[in-house]
Structures are given as C-alpha cells and as structure tokens.
C-alpha cells in the first residue's frame, strides 16, 4: 500500500459481529501508555502463545522509507504481559475503526482474537494485533546488529524508534513488568553494553 494511502474502513476481521456486550483490547506497546480510545476498565493481563518483540519495520510513525525504524509486534510462542482494556459495547465500532486506522496503516499486522488472563483471574477474549510474518515489513528474521541499527536510525512523525523502545521499557517498569529482552536491547542501542 502506498505510504500516503489511507487504510480502508475496518472490516469485520475479529469476528465481532457474533459478539454481544463489552469487548476487550490487549495492548503490549504504545497502547499501554497511549490507548487513545475510551474504556471502562483497564487491567494487567497475561497473554500466552505470543511474545513481545521489536519485529516490525516502521515506515510511517517511528521511521520513514528513507530512515526506517523498528517497532513492536507480537510473535508466536512464549507469553506477554500487557494491559487489557474493556470497551463499552456502545463504543466498540468507533474504537475498532480507530484501532484499524492506527495499527493497520501498512497492514504489517494481523488482527486477532486471543485469550488472556486478567490480574484478577478472569479469562477474557481480547482483540489485538499480531505481526504478520509474511509482510515485507516483518523483521523477526533480522539479526541483532541490524535491529540495533534500525532502532538507532529510525525517526518519523511520532518520534524516534529509540524513544519508542525507551518509553515501552519505562512503562513496563512502572507496571512491574520486567522484560529483560527489551532492557538488553535498549542497552545495546544506547551503547551501554557491547553487542554479544
């Protein structure tokens, strides 16, 4: 999709037409500190079967085609701690369309419904975005030096890829979520430690 082309209206990609009542959205990156939509409840949540990784090349928000950056995506296997937001049924259509416009600008993600466990023990179905391993912007196969290079150079309309990574680490720390991989990656990006 060309960079200046707007995404199409959100299709029923999550199968939500069969749902009634409030919906849940799982955030693992910037949605944790900047959801941008109304919600009724926010809870810490655990998602199994996926892990958080800097694995999507950013060409629009934290990079440009000339200076691509790297942002988060969910990849298969492992687990991920993040935040789940309960959205009122009356707000769902507007929130769904907002999320589609925000996250699907280049279709590097796949909308998914996933099961998550909230910090109070409830199990809920959540809407989230998983990195598409077949998309040209997928970077899960890149080695560590190339990932570090992309994070160091990436800068777009919403800031640098490095600031995005640092903000993610800071917010995870504030939530009591220790993501050692992202801490290590930030150290390598900042030159605080030599690459292994």
Any idea where the domains of the chain sit in the sequence? 16-189
Of 141, 165, 143, the C-alpha closest to 153 is 165
**b/e code 51-72 from CB counts within 10 Å (16+ = b):** bbbbbbbbbbbbbbeebbbbbb
Q: Phi/psi of residue 150, each to 5°?
A: -65, -40
Q: Count Cβ atoms below 10 Å from residue 182 Cβ, excluding itself.
A: 20
What is the CB neighbour count within 10 angstroms for residue 75? 18
d(CA 196, CA 188): 9
Given its phi and psi angles, is residue 49 left (phi above 0), alpha (psi -120 to 50 degrees) or beta?
A: left
Active site residue 17: no
Instruction: Single out the catalytic residue among 6, 16, 19, 103.
Output: 103
pTM: 0.88
Of the pLDDT bands very low, low, confident and very high (cuts 50, 70, 90), residue 9 is very low
The 10s digit of each residue's pLDDT in 28-62 is 999 999 999 999 999 999 999 999 999 999 999 99
Integer Cα distance of 11 and 21 in angstroms: 19
Residue 18, pLDDT > 60, answer: no
Domain 16-189, architecture per CATH: Roll (3.10)
Q: Is the pLDDT of residue 14 over 60?
A: no
Of the chain, the percentage scoring pLDDT greater than 90 comes to 86
In the beta sheet, which residues pair with residue 126?
24, 114
Q: pLDDT of 103-151, one tens digit each?
A: 998 999 999 999 999 999 999 999 999 999 999 999 999 999 999 999 9
* Residue 49, number of CB atoms within 10 A of its CB: 13
Q: How far apart are CA 168 and CA 32, in angstroms?
A: 8
pLDDT of residue 178: 86
């Amino acid at each position: 999709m060309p960079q200046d082309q707007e995404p199409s209206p959100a299709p029923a990609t999550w199968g939500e037409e069969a749902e009634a009542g409030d919906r849940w959205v799982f955030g693992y990156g910037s949605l944790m500190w900047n959801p941008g939509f109304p919600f009724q409840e926010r809870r810490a949540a655990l998602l199994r079967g996926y892990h958080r990784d800097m694995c999507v090349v950013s060409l629009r928000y934290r990079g440009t085609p000339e200076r691509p950056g790297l942002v988060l995506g969910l990849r298969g296997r492992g687990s991920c701690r993040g935040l789940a937001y309960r959205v009122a049924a009356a707000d769902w259509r507007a929130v769904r369309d907002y999320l589609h416009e925000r996250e699907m600008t280049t279709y590097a993600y796949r909308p998914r419904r996933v099961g998550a466990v909230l910090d109070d023990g409830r199990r809920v179905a959540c809407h989230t975005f998983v990195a598409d391993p077949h998309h040209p912007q997928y970077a899960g196969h890149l080695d560590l030096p190339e990932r570090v290079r992309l994070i160091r150079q990436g800068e777009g309309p919403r800031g640098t890829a490095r600031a995005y990574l640092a903000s993610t680490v800071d917010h995870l720390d504030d939530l009591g979520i220790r993501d050692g991989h992202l801490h290590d990656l930030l150290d390598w990006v900042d030159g605080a430690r030599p690459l292994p």
